[in-house]
Structure 1
């Protein structure tokens, strides 16, 4: 299992299509799960979680990849 970040336009009732998606390397799972305050990856698998701007920025620094600003970002578990 791995974490995936999905991004959608904020406040757009007309366009709810996916604008950003990034599958995160599994080697970051434990660090991100702890950083977000979850007990385990299995616990996070219960749904998708809205990321704050600060959380997204910290994850981007950790994984050394850009994550776009200005989108509503969610993180969830993929199998």
Structure 2
């Protein structure tokens, strides 16, 4: 893999690469549902989840077992 040229993520050549990754993720998670990849940090994925699946005023239970739980609570609070 390292002997091949780098494929830019906005080029048409990247489309089959991401399609293969999504297909493999479906197998890994044993699902027929769509698998969504996020081009960003873990926090970006957390924010995308909260902002797209919850509405302001919804009740959320964030279990605080450390920094990860604290981050969920902060993100949920920020989104209302």
**Is the strand fraction higher in 1 or 2?**
1
TM-score when normalising by structure 2: 0.24
Q: Which is greater in Rg?
A: 2
**Is the helix fraction higher in 1 or 2?**
2
TM-score when normalising by structure 1: 0.24
